[in-house]
Structure 1
Amino acid sequence: MHLPVTSDAGPAAETSGPPAADPVGVRRRVPWGAALPLVGALALWAHSVLRTDPAGLGDFGLVGALPVTYWAALALLTGGFWYCVRDPARGGGWPAAYVLGLLLLERATQALVYPTALYAWAWKHDAVVEHLLSAGRLETTAERLGDMAVYDQWPGFFAAQAGLVRLTGAESAAVFMAWWPLFSSLLLLAPLLLVYRTFTQDRRLVWTAVWLFHVANWVGQDYFSPQSLAFALYLGVIAVVLRRGGRTEDGRRPGGRLLWTALLLPPIAAVVVSHQLTPVMLGAGLTALCLIRDRRTWALPALVVLAVVFLAWNLTVSLPFLREAVPEMLRSFGDVRGNLETGYGSTPTGTGPVTVSWVARLLSGAVLLLAALGVLRRTALRTRARPLLLLTAVPLLMLVANDYGSEMIFRVLLFMLPGACFFAAAALLPPAAAGAAPDAPDAGPVRGGRRRTALAGAALLVLTAAFVPAYAGKDRLSYFPPDEVELVRQVIDGAPPGSLVVAAHRNYPLAYASYGEIGHYWFLEDAKSHVREVLGDPAGTLARDMAGVAPPGRAYFLLTRGQIAGSEMNGMLSAAELRRIERSVADSPLFERVGGNSAGVVYALRPTTGSTP
């Protein structure tokens, strides 16, 4: 089946016949010109990985540790991609190969450079998997687990990972979670291609949009998390609805609606039982597609299935959480300004974090600006891809609903990206010449000269380079060296049931390990007045906070480099203030040192102190 080809050249250019056969001469010229930049880029990247030392990361994270050969590899890869994708005569498989190369440079570098997995939240999710494996059942109330019980009420992702751990015989999910960003990004390729090919057969536009998506997706939702899997499933459902909801070349509608709706049930159910926000985004998107007559016959059955599964789950398993959360959600509804604001400890501080934050904002702003230009400039494409344009705008409505823990703006951006990158790619690429099929090797020249091509290629290179600081510029905060992992593991393994671990900030590995038996408290997340009390009398205040632990449990004070980085880079307490707190605890007779290494130190409240301040 050949879908219409989008072009600005009018109705005559919207449809084309089968691509012409590749001329023999073209085939002989393609491999070397297309392959050499890719091979060279991968060789430079491999050399860069071997030369990158993660020790002593500065305020610019991994950016400051990468050698110049990495940037040369990125430039060579981008140039090779642009060389291959803009000319239909250079083979359809090469852009795919370059996108895979991009994913290696983007998402595999950290997995190879760092000996441990990134992100405190990834370690938190590892703890949830461990809890499911050890407990063997779900907790439906907060009586024992506190706010961690919410994960047991949306267990789809964690149950799947627990099954994978048992199936592979791995020690824990931490064995493979460092590679999850690459895996989750690969999962997005198929649905992205299906979505984009629904609206155009111009492979230049399709692959440039895919490239831009992975460049613009810096927000970090690809890590070991329910959101990463739920987003891939969301995109898969949308792709099927869009793909089956159109018309074939002869004007007929695809059949098999009942069968395809039944096939959508498993991914929809997986989304509902894995994540709180994604089903809402999926429902909003399907509702928007119901407004378009050609898509309604497929979007409506999928929406009904989603509504039934969503209500069934939320009125049973997740009801305990919703009873407490819904009143707060109603209070924040309509407060767009409040939903956009970040909370205490979310403001980048210091030259590196501020610069990285602005690079990320400019990257997103540039892609969205290009998308707006593409919508305005490509009239025929805008008309044909109206469903995708609508899906791009719908996530903005979520800014009215909730702040989602000060993260709603990032989630909105994530769900806007598939459509935004499609139209941004249209802005970078010149429209195909009238009457030409962009897939055909003899399609002829496109409108736009060498200067335009060079400017567009330069823009693509700048956007691609900006991804690195936007994505890896905070690795000082996200990376935990083996010494830090080992120190925290010693604390957790040696703590009796009922113990309490007190820390400044939750940014350290295994921060939630054994959360069913061991309590965790981070005083920088308490009221600012209490933080001032800790600063005024560190040892005395912390001793009072820790005095309620009943034997045989013990109370521990833990300070690690990850906490210091998280506090400093997020505008909380400085390293000097945290070190002063540590010295007060070290000098106090109320505490005894029970462990420490190059990454941190741990003290225990002496059992004889009781509740003495």
Structure 2
Amino acid sequence: MSDLSDLPPGRPWWHAASHPAPALLVALALWGWAVTHTDVSGLDDFGLVTAVHPAFWAGLALLTVGFWVTLRGPSRHPAWAPAYVVGLLVMERATQAVLYPTPLYAWAWKHDAVIDHLLTAGRLENADAIGDMAVYDQWPGFFAAQAALVRLLGVDSAAQFMAWWPLVSSLMLLLPLLLLYRTFTEDRRLIWTGVWLFCVANWVGQDYFSPQSVAFALHLGVLAVVLRRYGRPGQSAAQQRRAVWTVLLTLLVVALVISHQLTPGMLIVSLAALFLTRRYRDKVPLVTTVVIFLAWCLTAALPFLSAALPDMIRSIGDIGGNVSTGYGATPTGTGAVTTSWVARLLSASVLLLAVAGVLRQPVLRHRAMPLLLLAAAPLPMLGASSYGSEMIFRVLMFMLPGAAFFAAAALLPQVRTLTAMEKTSRTEPRRYVWLPLLALLAGTLAFVPSYSGKDRISYFPPDEVDLVRQVIDRAPDDSLVVAADRNYPLAFADYWRVDHYWFLDDDRDHVDTIVRAPAATLARDMSAVESPGRAYLLFSRGQFADSEMNGLLTKGQLDRIRQSVDASPLFERVAGNDAGVAYVLKETGR
């Protein structure tokens, strides 16, 4: 028997697991220091990029380096990779919730208004009662669930928790994303690098308090079930288990269909792409999704679809028009242009890396072909509709799970699939260590301007919220609130009793008329309001920021409109603070 006394003592598992801890903890400490030493009261056209304390950037860089070094260490405990990813999501998605005293995004405030309507009315209503806003009552899944959550938590409105929704919705994506990736590989480096790239490339802003955020998670959940449970025809026992999975799949699809208009269409396209492969020829997922989608479209959603169908038909095939942002959405100014280009370069880089990954990893290209199809499947949607000039962003988002997986493969020298168990070389060339790290670091840092570079538009200080609330609380039923555009908090507040109108939504000729003769033109536009309703005109910081940075009107033009109204005898000032001013049209102005 050999003498083992001279061998070094064994180390417990926690010893090997503890090495990644310092980088993670120091990175989070730097983040905590940064958010407590950042002033967001004077945001410029670069948004959070120039406002955040430099410690934030140091923490983000350290987190990325720590993640990459930890992931390459063969003895690291598997819990460290998800810990770093959660740390990334906290730094990416929780920073704004901590820094800003009010929730971001006018659309989030709009969704809060829809929930408030459900809580107030206690039922769904059609266009005869609430006009164009009835579309939300025809896809009520998300709003009904949030209304129930408001009641359950005992809060006044969803505005009290919706600032944290980007973090919550991003965490929701982790499980289905991991299930998707683990279907094709057990290489933890590939899985977690793909997850990391997905997180830093998902800058398009659909994680905010919205039906799309939940619908995207449901979309990935359905795909994960299909890829993992419908791949091969099985025996009777397998068929019985598949029946259970079909019940779960049906529940996911129903929740998805009643919550969002676009995502079910994307899911059908994705399932059809999978059906083209020999491995996923089971008709149940595709048929189930199509039947449920059509059933909802031909019943609850029929009023909206009937009205929108002519425009939808006209947009089919118009790819140029569908991807064009059009008037009012052209970045203007150094900050807006720079951050827009950083976002584009970030997306382009991930897509190019995905192409490189497909070419460099032939084994992965063969085994993970379904993910490649899922990455390409959303592209035909560019020819289907403009979706309010947002289709290109939605297509990018739906491409991202598959694209991030293959982009991660491009950063690794060799990967393993479930059936191809090649071992990774322990003597990797230096370029496979530093070049991928630099690429990962560049993408991680680029996320910040891509995601938060327009916070001057998205952030509404408390004074602006108070100003709008004063106007809404003052307005009698059947009143009208007019503003330059809808980029302000509570822009849809009380929409079931107060009308809202944004003159920059009009055609350019009418906007030019307002610029030439502001007070007289606006007074004429607002004069149709009947007593006891009143007509209010609101100017606020968010409207000015959006108009300037998106090329609607210049600051000089907006100031001229406000000064003309302020000097006009047709209007009376009723509220104002550092964030804006509100007027009411006098009775003599009607």
Q: Is the shorter-chain TM-score for this pair beyond 0.5, marking a shared fold?
A: yes
Alignment deviations for residues 8-39 of structure 1 (CA, whole Å, 9 cap, x no partner):
xxxxxxxxxxxxxxx94483652342111000
1:258 and 2:238 are equivalent in the alignment: no
1:532 and 2:497 are equivalent in the alignment: no
TM-score for both structures, normalised by structure 1: 0.92
Query: What is the identity, as a one-letter code, of the residue corresponding to 2:455?
Result: D
Mapped to 2, the partners of 1:472 and 1:425 lie a distance apart of 24
Matching residue of 2:384: 401
Q: CA deviation at 1:178?
A: 0.2
User: CA separation of 1:435/1:115 partners in 2, compared to 1, >3 Å: closer, same or farther?
Assistant: closer
Query: What is the identity, as a one-letter code, of the residue corresponding to 2:265?
Result: V
Please state whether the residue corresponding to 1:402 is helix, strand or coil.
coil
1:471 and 2:451 are equivalent in the alignment: yes
Matching residue of 1:20: none
1:510 and 2:490 are equivalent in the alignment: yes
Pick the aligned partner of 1:63 from 49, 61, 72: 49
Matching residue of 2:414: 431
Q: CA deviation at 1:584?
A: 0.5
1:216 and 2:201 are equivalent in the alignment: yes
> What are the equivalent positions in structure 2 for 1:431-580 lying under 5 Å apart?
431-432=414-415, 445-446=425-426, 448-580=428-560
Q: CA deviation at 1:470?
A: 0.1
1:236 and 2:221 are equivalent in the alignment: yes
Q: CA deviation at 1:516?
A: 0.6
User: CA separation of 1:432/1:155 partners in 2, compared to 1, >3 Å: closer, same or farther?
Assistant: closer
Q: CA deviation at 1:552?
A: 0.6
Matching residue of 2:167: 182
Aligned residues: 581
> What are the equivalent positions in structure 2 for 1:211-360 lying under 5 Å apart?
211-246=196-231, 256-297=241-282, 300-360=283-343
Mapped to 1, the partners of 2:14 and 2:118 lie a distance apart of 56
| Cα pair 2:363 2:420 within 8 Å, conserved | no
Matching residue of 1:14: none
Matching residue of 2:102: 116
User: CA separation of 1:260/1:566 partners in 2, compared to 1, >3 Å: closer, same or farther?
Assistant: same
CA RMSD of aligned residues (A): 2.0
Matching residue of 1:103: 89
Matching residue of 2:6: none
Please state whether the residue corresponding to 2:583 is helix, strand or coil.
strand
Alignment deviations for residues 112-158 of structure 1 (CA, whole Å, 9 cap, x no partner):
00000000000000000001110111123x22322211111111100
Matching residue of 1:42: 28
Query: What is the identity, as a one-letter code, of the residue corresponding to 2:115?
Result: V
Mapped to 1, the partners of 2:12 and 2:285 lie a distance apart of 45
Query: What is the identity, as a one-letter code, of the residue corresponding to 1:526?
Result: D
Matching residue of 2:119: 133
| Cα pair 1:271 1:279 within 8 Å, conserved | yes
Matching residue of 2:401: 418
Q: CA deviation at 1:302?
A: 1.5
Mapped to 2, the partners of 1:521 and 1:446 lie a distance apart of 64
Mapped to 2, the partners of 1:376 and 1:400 lie a distance apart of 27
Matching residue of 1:3: none
Q: CA deviation at 1:173?
A: 0.4
Q: CA deviation at 1:249?
A: 14
Mapped to 2, the partners of 1:450 and 1:499 lie a distance apart of 68
Please state whether the residue corresponding to 2:129 is helix, strand or coil.
coil
User: CA separation of 1:408/1:110 partners in 2, compared to 1, >3 Å: closer, same or farther?
Assistant: same
Matching residue of 2:180: 195
Matching residue of 2:3: none
Matching residue of 1:605: 585
Mapped to 2, the partners of 1:556 and 1:71 lie a distance apart of 44
Please state whether the residue corresponding to 1:424 is helix, strand or coil.
helix
Mapped to 1, the partners of 2:58 and 2:356 lie a distance apart of 30
1:590 and 2:570 are equivalent in the alignment: yes
Alignment deviations for residues 355-399 of structure 1 (CA, whole Å, 9 cap, x no partner):
000000000000000000001110010100111111110100101
Mapped to 2, the partners of 1:137 and 1:27 lie a distance apart of 56
User: CA separation of 1:261/1:447 partners in 2, compared to 1, >3 Å: closer, same or farther?
Assistant: farther
| Cα pair 1:26 1:89 within 8 Å, conserved | no
Please state whether the residue corresponding to 1:420 is helix, strand or coil.
helix
User: CA separation of 1:276/1:432 partners in 2, compared to 1, >3 Å: closer, same or farther?
Assistant: closer
Query: What is the identity, as a one-letter code, of the residue corresponding to 1:245?
Result: Y
| Cα pair 1:247 1:254 within 8 Å, conserved | no
| Cα pair 1:430 1:446 within 8 Å, conserved | no
Query: What is the identity, as a one-letter code, of the residue corresponding to 2:263?
Result: T
| Cα pair 2:184 2:417 within 8 Å, conserved | no
Matching residue of 1:93: 79
Mapped to 1, the partners of 2:417 and 2:186 lie a distance apart of 15
| Cα pair 1:26 1:90 within 8 Å, conserved | no
User: CA separation of 1:24/1:362 partners in 2, compared to 1, >3 Å: closer, same or farther?
Assistant: farther
| Cα pair 1:508 1:562 within 8 Å, conserved | yes
Percentage of identical aligned residues: 63
Mapped to 1, the partners of 2:60 and 2:420 lie a distance apart of 31
Mapped to 2, the partners of 1:324 and 1:434 lie a distance apart of 49
Mapped to 2, the partners of 1:433 and 1:583 lie a distance apart of 67
User: CA separation of 1:68/1:533 partners in 2, compared to 1, >3 Å: closer, same or farther?
Assistant: same
| Cα pair 1:500 1:519 within 8 Å, conserved | yes
User: CA separation of 1:336/1:436 partners in 2, compared to 1, >3 Å: closer, same or farther?
Assistant: closer
Deviates more, 1:269-278 or 1:448-457: 448-457
| Cα pair 2:190 2:415 within 8 Å, conserved | no
Please state whether the residue corresponding to 2:281 is helix, strand or coil.
helix
| Cα pair 1:230 1:278 within 8 Å, conserved | yes
Which runs of 5 or more residues in structure 2 are unaligned?
A: 1-8
Deviates more, 1:67-76 or 1:241-250: 241-250
